[in-house]
Amino acid sequence: MDAMRINIDLSRHAADIIQAEKQECYRNAVMALLNIDDFKHGYYVEGLAINPKLNFPTEHGWVELDGEVVDPTWTLGTIDDAKYYPVMKYDSTTTYDLFVIRQKLMPLNHFGNCPALRDLYIELMKL
């Protein structure tokens, strides 16, 4: 199972532009995707990420841009070797519809309603 890696420079740049907030990964990812022009062709992603300091999978949100992770949240804590496992991706148009028009501010695919996320979590716990 291959994990995605983070682009630290781009993540820190995004965090600065959107004034990212700690523990607000879903908000930060949506803000970056929808408010940074160069990110418009990227994706809002929900999945699991492993913080190497904890070595435990966590539900998380980030942006995928040109095959790389842009994470404006965890870069605030200087996590530069996290591993990311995407489960669901949404383009900027869909993200706008879900989060702005419908004003849904919670993660879309948490354990309770996404079997793929639950299955990935179980698989990662075996590693």
- As a whole number of angstroms, the distance between CA 105 and CA 26 comes to 8
Whole-model pTM above 0.85?
no
Pairing of strands 43-51, 83-91: antiparallel
Residue 4 DSSP one-character state? B
Contact between 31 and 94 under an 8 Å Cβ cutoff? The reply is: no
- 9: its two tokens: 């420079």
Closest CA relative to residue 44, chosen from 58, 57, 25, 17: 25
Say how many CA atoms lie within 13 Å of 111 toward its Cβ.
9
**What pLDDT score does 96 carry?**
86
Q: Residues 18-54: pLDDT tens digits?
A: 999 988 898 899 999 999 999 999 999 998 998 877 7
Contact between 107 and 113 under an 8 Å Cβ cutoff? The reply is: no
